[in-house]
Amino acid sequence: MKFSPFSKNLIAVLFLLIVSQSLNAQKQKKYVLDWLSQHEVVEEFGKISDEIWSFAELGLQEFKSSALLINTLEKEGFKVEKGLAGMPTCFVATYGSGKPVIGILAEYDALPMISQNPRTTTKQPLVEGAPGHGCGHNLMGTAASAAAIAAKKAMEKYDIKGTIKVFGSPAEEMLISRPYMVRAGLFDGVDAVINNHTSSDFGARYGVNGNAMYSVIFSFSGKTAHGAGAPWAGRSALDAVEIMNISTNFLREHLFYTHRMHYVIPKGGEAPNVVPDKASVWYFIRNTDDRLEDMYERVLNCAKGAALATGTELSEIKVMTAIHQSHENKALAELMDANIQQIGMPEWTVEEHEFAKALQKELGKKENGMSKEVSKLNAPKSVFTGGGSSDHGDVTLITPTSTIRFPGVVPGAIGHNWSNVACNYGSLAWKGLNAGAKAMATTAIDLLTQPKELQKIRDEFKEYSKEHPYKTFLPKDAVPPLDINEELMKKYIPLLEKNRIEE
Ligand SMILES: [Zn+2]
């Protein structure tokens, strides 16, 4: 191919433009890394995270946790819209204007029943039976906010155009907020989204992960009667729950192996001598995107059959959430990975390694201490290994999204367990949070300043969307179950406050 002198010049100019863009990005990224490395900054966000850890607020009850993040972002000049998508604890914090629009996901809810004293290596609840941060969402919401603030500082200093948005997403542990946030249009016009999760390693991820899921409460209504005097006059709603569960347990054998299904019985009557006229069972019904709806129909039939068999009524089918698998963008993960490789693993102190080893010993795991090296970006596994779910799946089908896993959790600590709660507080957790914030902030700078990279990400997404167009699994009338954790939090807030860790 021959180039005219004019096109040669054009190529040279374009080449220089790309080189200067990437040199500028290096300078701007160094600026955010330096800012985040300052001792006061590490400490400021570490304390915010510890505070949210102490609140230990369950899904849709994260009033203090979301307020703390909102205040932090507002103080830095972010404009915050609150109470979005029908959830009082959902928010979007925005800085800047115009394209590109880069989103960062922030979570902050805790899990029930796993309260634990921080930095302990044996099971020691802080408040017996109370909630605890056993998935590190205290660190994630804070790291996302720290990253956005760091990126904003660079935008100001270097006059970087575009918008940065923090998506305050409640109730991730219950997989609730994102399908509603998508339905409310909160992600419209967002060019790319950075997701994050705590981990024992430091790396990025792409490909299809986890399971899609329905979270549904099936309620039955019957008739009360004296359990001994005239049981024939009663119709037991609890019988319906039990028969439904027997049916679904037989159904398991004929479901594809990708499925997961589990339930609890939130209501099953109050006294054995009164035939219960009200009972309900709460199911998580999980499978791949293409198998979920069929599985849900079959579980629904088990509920209908149980009502028929017991002469009760299937009085309510309350779908609280319905979500997709996550489909994460490769080009975005590669961008994240390049930043992670540069940032490297935090340096753990001898005490931190010792803590890790003691915890590993207690859990019967290999006593290797903390992870020392960052992970390589691996291709997704070709066999299905999912099982769990994350509600950011819906976001991945609306706009290109990938996940940064940041360190801080002791390798071998168990998710949704006291051992994880013990890790998510204090210096070790702060270092992980800081590393995560650095990876997110540098990736945000890349996305804001390197249009070619963003275009590559968006092109991949456009191609993928042809095969995977988004359609919500949420029924039209579904609404977030705002009161689901109200009673539990009412019970535990005073006890958690009384037992607060004072540094
Ligand atoms: Zn989580």
Tens-digit pLDDT profile for residues 314-350: 999 999 999 999 999 999 999 999 999 999 999 999 9
From ligand 1's centre to the CA of 389, what distance in Å? 9
Residue 17 confidence (pLDDT) above 80? no
Residues with Cβ within 8 Å of 262's Cβ and at least 6 positions away in sequence, in order, are 283, 284
74-78, long-range: CB within 8 Å, 24+ apart, which pairs? Answer: 76/149, 76/152, 77/152, 78/148, 78/149, 78/152, 78/166
In which residue are the tokens 């198998």 written? Answer: 291
Give tens-digit pLDDT for 18-37. Answer: 667 777 888 999 999 999 99
Percent of the chain's residues with pLDDT above 90: 92
Please tell me the distance from the alpha carbon of residue 123 to that of residue 363, in angstroms, as a whole number: 10
**CATH top-level class of 212-323:** alpha beta
In the chain, what is the straight-line distance between the N-terminal and C-terminal CA atoms, in Å? Answer: 70
> What's the confidence (pLDDT) of residue 22?
75
Q: What is the DSSP letter of 381?
A: P
3-class SS letters over 428-441: HHHHHHHHHHHHHH
Which residue would you say has higher pLDDT here, 8 or 189? 189
pLDDT digits (tens, 9 = 90+) for 242-257: 999 999 999 999 999 9
Q: Where are the alpha helices (DSSP H) in 223-367?
A: 237-251, 289-310, 330-343, 350-362
CA angle 150, 155, 159 (to 5 degrees): 160
Question: Largest Cα–Cα distance of the chain, in whole Å?
Answer: 102
User: Is residue 480 within 8 Å of 87, Cβ to Cβ?
Assistant: yes
Question: Across the chain, what does the average pLDDT equal?
Answer: 95
d(CA 10, CA 348): 50
Per-residue pLDDT, averaged over 198-223, amounts to 96
Q: How many CA atoms lie within 13 A of 31 on its CB side?
A: 20
- Taking the C-alpha atoms of residue 408 and residue 153, their distance in angstroms, rounded to an integer, is 26
Strand partners, 193: 103, 401
User: Which is it for the CA torsion 64, 67, 72, 75, positive or negative?
Assistant: negative
The secondary structure of 43-110 as a DSSP string is: HHHHHHHHHHHHH-PBTT--HHHHHHHHHHHHHTT-EEEESGGG-TT-EEEEEEESS-EEEEEEE--B
Nearest to 408 by CA among 139, 194, 132, 115: 139
d(CA 204, CA 6): 42
Distance 340 CA to ligand 1 centre (A): 20
Q: Which residues crowd ion ligand 1, with CB under 5 Å?
A: 135
Ligand 1 center to residue 135 CA distance, Å?
5
Residue 126 has pLDDT above 70, yes or no: yes
CA–CA distance, 221 with 158 (Å, rounded to integer): 64
Residue 191's SS3 state is coil
Q: Is the Cβ–Cβ distance between 171 and 60 less than 8 Å?
A: yes
Can you say whether the dihedral through the CA atoms of 205, 208, 210, 215 is positive or negative?
positive
Q: Is the pTM of this model over 0.85?
A: yes
Residue 13: pLDDT band (50, 70, 90) is low
Sign of CA dihedral 28, 34, 37, 39: negative
Q: What is the pLDDT of residue 5?
A: 64
Mention the CATH class of domain 28-209+328-498: alpha beta
Residue 422 has pLDDT above 80, yes or no: yes
In this predicted structure, the answer to whether residue 177 has a pLDDT above a threshold of 70 is: yes
Band of residue 9 on the pLDDT scale cut at 50, 70, 90: confident
Q: How confident is the model at residue 2 (pLDDT cuts 50, 70, 90)?
A: low
Please choose, from the candidates 141, 129, 193, the residue with its C-alpha nearest in 3D space to the C-alpha of residue 327.
Answer: 193
| Domain boundaries of the chain, sorted by first residue | 28-209+328-498, 212-323
User: pLDDT band at residue 385, thresholds of 50, 70 and 90?
Assistant: confident
- The average pLDDT across 144-170 equals 98
Measure 114 CA to ligand 1 centroid, in angstroms. 14
For residues 152 and 96, give the distance between their C-alpha atoms in angstroms, rounded to a whole number.
8
What average pLDDT score do residues 85-95 get?
98
* CA dist., res. 9 & res. 24, Å (int): 22
CA of 229 to the centre of ligand 1 (A): 50
> Residue 4 has what pLDDT?
66
The helix (H) or strand (E) run that includes residue 282 is: strand 278-287
The predicted structure's pLDDT at residue 334: 98
Query: 224 CA to middle of ligand 1, Å?
Result: 41
In this prediction, residue 471 carries a pLDDT of 96
Q: How far is the CA of 424 from the centre of ligand 1 (A)?
A: 12
Query: Distance between CA atoms of 139 and 144, rounded to whole angstroms?
Result: 8
- Please give the average per-residue pLDDT across 288-315, as a whole number: 98
Distance CA 68, CA 64 (A): 6
Per DSSP, which regions of 182-228 are E strands? 192-198, 203-205, 207-209, 212-221
The tokens describing 321, both together, are 């959430």
Per-residue pLDDT band at 102 (split at 50, 70, 90): very high
Cα(355) to centroid(ligand 1), Å: 23
Other C-beta atoms lying within 10 Å of the C-beta of residue 64: 16
Residue 14 has pLDDT above 80, yes or no: no
Q: How far is the CA of 459 from the centre of ligand 1 (A)?
A: 29
pLDDT in tens, 366-383: 999 999 999 999 888 877
Question: Which residues, 6 or more positions from 73, have their beta carbon under 8 angstroms from its beta carbon?
Answer: 80, 93, 145, 148, 149, 166
> What average pLDDT score do residues 159-176 get?
97
What 8-state DSSP symbol labels residue 126? Answer: S
Instruction: Report how far residue 84's alpha carbon sits from residue 123's, in angstroms, rounded to the nearest whole number.
Output: 38
Which value, to the nearest 10 degrees, does the dihedral of the CA atoms of residues 6, 12, 13, 16 take? 180
Cα of 439 vs centre of ligand 1, distance in Å, is 18
Q: How confident is the model over 37-77, as pLDDT tens digits?
A: 999 999 999 999 999 999 999 999 999 999 999 999 999 99
Q: What percent of the chain has pLDDT over 70?
A: 96
What sign for the dihedral angle of Cα 203, 205, 210, 215?
A: positive
* Alpha carbon of 58 to ligand 1 centroid (Å): 12
* Cα 487 to averaged position of ligand 1 atoms, centre (Å): 22
Q: Are 141 and 133 in contact (CB under 8 A)?
A: no
431-466 pLDDT per residue, tens: 999 999 999 999 999 999 999 999 999 999 999 999
Query: Does residue 78 carry a pLDDT above 90?
Result: yes
Q: Is the pLDDT of residue 274 over 70?
A: yes
pLDDT of residue 25: 83
